[in-house]
Chain A
């Protein structure tokens, strides 16, 4: 694998390989001294065109733990603000010979374009509403640690599916791992044709009891202004995951950051069923595993060949 642009770049074996590697890194992160020398002397550039605390810091910690040199380029205050094109920015950054570029961009397909323009390995850290493959990997990692295999497990993804890259990557990843996925939300926030990804569609929480896992998505305030739903109040009344709706045997997930009192009630966020913090922890080891998969062994620094001394006759 040269890049991680879509979760579809990995088949089930590929996902399992990354997760096994992540599990071995999880042991290391329990140690006092957390660094591994794997990527020493290699550069990783985080190129972020959207504000992101969680994903950017997670990638940064992952790369540093593997001893890579990390540079963060964020859109505000950079040449991006000065109207430079994505291509020019990527080619400029590529001149620094990074081993990997981690890209977050507000538009679908941006990571795939970057991969065409740079010799570096490219990791998609979210492109528009399209995909967020490392989120899907960390979600699968978190679940397999709780449930063992996902085969035959029922996972409900609840909320604004239309605008969610997490939902798209998760549907693909969960079904690849053998789970049965149902998406649920207001009809206006379920994109027509989403069934083609291999999930069921529901518009009410009536069947939620069947779920082994409830995955709530972030509900953004802008959706109210565009009349996707008439009011936040009505959304909360129909779709909020709260103590009344969540069964004690169900696992609760959320990609963060949580809007307490909107998609999740405060009590379920703080309940032992919620694995939201475990997801964040998993993020670091899974991203370490992805960087390892893409970089270790491939293009490892070559031993410096000494300049041959001219032979005198």
Chain B
């Protein structure tokens, strides 16, 4: 099997970051330190002022800044191939780097659908020319996302498939999903599931509740998600298979995952920044940037998702970065496509809305923003001697307005547009190379 992540080959960097607060929750590390990166690896961590600048290493003043392991996003849409007017591998991974992500995983609902080994091979070659941070690919569970015929999962795994997903659509047939879960015994690879019963959600464009009743927009009930989570957790348990639930939005779904985990099912789950920070109140004036699937739900749902993330019922944060061109979103709400961008705002939004009000510790947020790697069987970024350098340097006090200087993403459909957020990514090191540097961030030679 091939290496699961690919990016533009770049020379490994030599870097000394002086005096930053170094925070790696997994290693219990939270102290001011100098961190030396040599040839793309963390070579030394020492008390501030004690690590000598290696020859040729760029020195950065980290005083007052926070250095954390680079984030990993198990769920993004890079729209390539076929919808490059929304995003491509370069713009999508630039957006990832600007958000502090050192690895992202692309979904297969492209045009054509990523459901074939030759397509995966070509896409990985393209990523070697265009991807600024390492990208992994999850091909489809079923051909053409049709929900009927399994893809050649074993061959796709040989070509580097990280796992499989029909994201954007549920695997409606329990029988087909069961076969995919059994086939996992041969080929491995987690199955990531978009949970939605289309007989309950058909025609819906927002959460079913008071706001949808008021607006006269057909609703997507929480039940359409939670019933499928419960069904598929039962299937995964019975087959002893690994399943991952994408973008949980409803209180009932969090409960279903908790029950499944307690019962011994090998399931994991993710939550998206928008479900952790916004509710359907944001849909009141039918702003299409607030249209996502699953939809923004109520404050009780938001609190349940936050609590799930805090308790570990939800394992990780995933942005579900879903770029759309401006004219595609400039239509009436019910006609607009689902999705918001998320890579460039994920950390700042969660820091502003969860960490600063005291709902979630910074260490736990960093843990959950890197845990997507473990969910997909990838090495988790760590700040420890000998580890590859996957780092994000943060200014936790910087306030900025989303969109004021545009976006690295090709699309601007951010649900946080115009909001003032606190916390900014200054530098991203991904797989041992500098993937992003904030414009105003000063550089000083050693």
Contact = CB atoms under 8 A, between A and B. Distances in A.
B438 interface: no
B212 A105 contact: no
A113 B332 contact: yes
Nearest to B205: A108
Interface string A194-229: 111100000000000000000000000000000000
Nearest to B206: A108
Contact of B333 (A85, A109, A131, A192): A109
Contacts of B55: none
A1 to B, nearest CB: 17
A127 B215 CA distance: 10
A191 B212 contact: yes
A168 interface: yes
A92 to B, nearest CB: 15
Contact of B213 (A112, A131, A165, A192): A192
Contact of A130 (B210, B215, B219): B215
A76 to B, nearest CB: 18
Contacts of B216: 108, 128-131, 164-165, 168, 191
Interface of chain A: mostly helix, strand, loop or mixed: mixed
Contacts of A192: 208-209, 213, 219
B213 A194 contact: yes
A306 interface: no
B209 A193 contact: yes
A105 B216 CA distance: 13
Contact of A110 (B208, B215, B332): B332
Interface in A126-168: 127-131, 164-165, 168
Best-surrounded residue of B208, B211, B215 (most CB of chain A within 10 A): B215
A196 B214 contact: yes
Contact of B335 (A107, A191, A194, A197): A107
Best-surrounded residue of A85, A128, A196 (most CB of chain B within 10 A): A128
B331 interface: yes
B211 A193 contact: yes
Contacts of B278: none
A164 B333 CA distance: 17
Contacts of A109: 215, 285-286, 332-334
B217 interface: yes
Contact of A193 (B213, B327, B334): B213
Contacts of B331: 85-87, 113
B330 interface: yes
Contacts of B215: 108-109, 130
Contact of A107 (B211, B213, B333): B333
Given A85-B327, A108-B286, A192-B208, A127 B332 contact: yes
A110 B216 CA distance: 13
Nearest to B332: A107
Given A128-B217, A193-B212, 15 more contacts: A85-B330, A86-B331, A87-B330, A87-B331, A107-B332, A107-B333, A108-B334, A109-B285, A109-B333, A128-B334, A130-B217, A131-B216, A192-B208, A196-B214, A197-B213
Interface of A: 85-87, 105, 107-110, 112-113, 127-131, 164-165, 168, 191-197
